[in-house]
Amino acid sequence: MTLAYVPGDSLAHRLDPRTKLLVQIGFAAAAYAHTTPRELAALTLLAGGCLWAADGDLADLWTYRVAFPVLLLAPLVAGATIESPWFRLDRAAETALASYRVLLLLVVAAAYVRSTPIRDSRAALQRTVPGRAGAFLGAGVALVFRFLPLLRRDLLAAREAVCARGGGQLPARERMRLIAIAGTNRAFGRADRLGTALAARCFAWNPTLPRLSFGPADYLALALGAGLFAVAATAAL
């Protein structure tokens, strides 16, 4: 499963992308400012609410599965020592909470991606960040959202091709080298074709973007984002 925009009529789909970006940033600030288990439990409910508002479920997180082993192993690595007592529970617990914070951020990000078209994300960035910088940032984000799934598909195709040619008998390091080379070659090929396509279509820094407007639900969500920033600020005082 590849996480991508899914058309719908959920609450999150109806929100302005600028509102959703503010809530994401406020959530990240609150998550890194409040790190106790009780505070993270409250943020868990909020993160679940964000995913529910986008008509998503936990299956949407499967696209982040590459990060799961790192998040699970980080507490074990942090707690291990080379001398007695050999394992520090306090360090492991602190790192486990940090890993859990990252997981919560992935949940909120999944809700945003699922409920926000790429063109809306670009429009939100270009209208928030002024000048050429905003246009460059908006175009870059749009291209990343569009081409990451393609690059992932290329890597999977390269892995299948290696296995079909008997690569399953090779050492893991050699298989990784072959897949990495094939994936890199395909990525550069896509980049060349993208450049040609942009030139052929007279790529513009100021294209006609969708209209954005705030609705009644946006003001409630903006208040939530502002509240999250205030909660984060209280921890810094």
Find out whether 50 and 107 touch, Cβ atoms under 8 Å: yes
Per-residue pLDDT reduced to its tens digit, 54-78:
998 888 787 777 788 888 888 888 8
Structure tokens at 54: 């986008």
Helices 37-53 and 89-115 sit at what angle, rounded to 10 degrees? 20
DSSP-assigned beta bridge partners for residue 204: none
**Mean pLDDT along residues 162-175:** 80
Q: Is the pLDDT of residue 219 over 80?
A: yes
- What's the confidence (pLDDT) of residue 152? 74
> Highest mean pLDDT: which of 33-37, 155-159, 193-197?
33-37
Which residues contact residue 114 at a Cβ distance below 8 angstroms, ignoring those fewer than 6 apart? 3, 4, 5, 6, 12, 54, 55, 56, 60
Q: Is the pLDDT of residue 51 over 70?
A: yes
Where does the pLDDT of residue 23 fall: very low under 50, low under 70, confident under 90, or very high at 90 and above? Answer: very high
Q: Is the pLDDT of residue 119 over 90?
A: no
Q: What is the pTM of this model?
A: 0.71
Query: Cα-Cα-Cα-Cα dihedral of 96, 98, 100, 106, to 10°?
Result: -150
Work out the percent of the chain whose per-residue pLDDT is above 70: 86
